[in-house]
Amino acid sequence: MLKVAGLRKVYPTAGGGFEAIRDLTFEVPAGQLACIVGPSGAGKTTLLKCVAGLLPRTAGVLELHGKDITAPPKTMAVVFQEYGRSLFPWMSVSANVELPLKSAGVPKAERRARAAEALEQVGLADAGAKYPWQLSGGMQQRVAIARAVAYRPEVLLMDEPFAAVDAQTRADLEDLVLKIWRELGITILFVTHDIDESVYLGQRVIVLSAAPTVVQDDVRIELPGERDQLRTRSLPEFAELRTHVFEEIQRAKAEAGRAA
């Protein structure tokens, strides 16, 4: 479904340019939940913005269903880390969820029905009349997820969406993502700096090198499909996988240090 081949991104600078991404190549099949991890500054957010059509690439191929991505695809939605900036505080929760549907020309009655359904899916069925500032951080991020779900995308991009919430809320939101992924069968590309989270959520973990970025490793996650915060994380296989991903990130840091 999603193809990234030879992706390169250079940011212009006074000194001639900063190469954030050098040569990224991977594909994500339909219905897969793939996580992306890497050292700080590895270009994870840059990659996601390029895939979303929000940032022009310098070189390489970005395709969705074989079509070149040059602008935000209509079948793609994004959930950002800073939920406080992505929700309009003067609009009700329901109005926030309905907003992209309104922009897409969806009739009012259908907008309301889809927003209500999405809020129920994220556990906020009774919060539609409230305002974002009346909700906790975790609940606000649920609203952002509901807005993406109501849009009914084929591909959902998530950029470190749980980095700003507490550990318990994070666990709840991780399970929410798995629930939505299983129920809707959508393709998810999930960027995170949390190694345990990537192993818990993903069917695969794509490990990026330090900038200028390439794919350091592509790890297949062979864990039970039905996952549980306690049982899954206590499996020996989980420990082995997280150790492997951690070692790959440390190797990426070490190689970057030698190159410098």
pLDDT at 26 over 60: yes
Give the number of domains in the chain. Answer: 2
Burial 120-139 (b: 16+ CB within 10 A, else e): ebbebeebbeebbeebeebb
Same domain, 188 and 251: yes
Averaged pLDDT for residues 59-70: 95
Averaged pLDDT for residues 134-152: 91
Whether the bond between 107 and the residue before it is cis, its omega within 30 degrees of 0, is no
Task: Round to whole Å and give the CA distance between 118 and 104.
Answer: 17
Give the pLDDT of residue 259. Answer: 63
Same domain, 43 and 159: yes
Position 99 in a domain: yes
Same domain, 199 and 169: yes
Averaged pLDDT for residues 53-77: 93
Give the pLDDT of residue 252. Answer: 85
- Residue 260: pLDDT band (50, 70, 90) is low
Position 200 in a domain: yes
Point out which residues pair with 119 in neighbouring strands: none
What are the backbone dihedrals phi and psi of residue 236, each rounded to the nearest 5 degrees, phi first?
Answer: -60, -35
Position 80 in a domain: no
pLDDT at 49 over 90: yes
Position 67 in a domain: yes
Same domain, 91 and 161: no
State pLDDT tens for residues 144-181.
999 999 998 999 999 998 887 888 888 999 999 999 99
User: Which has the higher per-residue pLDDT, 14 or 54?
Assistant: 54
Task: Round to whole Å and give the CA distance between 211 and 9.
Answer: 11
The domain in which residue 96 lies consists of 85-152
Give the pLDDT of residue 84. Answer: 72
**CATH code, domain carrying 232:** 3.40.50.300
State pLDDT tens for residues 2-24.
999 999 999 888 877 888 888 99
8 A C-beta contact, residue 116 and residue 194: no
pLDDT at 118 over 80: yes
pLDDT, mean over the chain: 91
Poorest-confidence range of 143-157, 215-229, 243-257? 243-257
Same domain, 114 and 167: no
Same domain, 142 and 163: no
Same domain, 178 and 247: yes
**Cβ contacts of residue 129 below 8 Å, gap of 6+?**
92, 93, 94
**Cβ contacts of residue 105 below 8 Å, gap of 6+?**
none
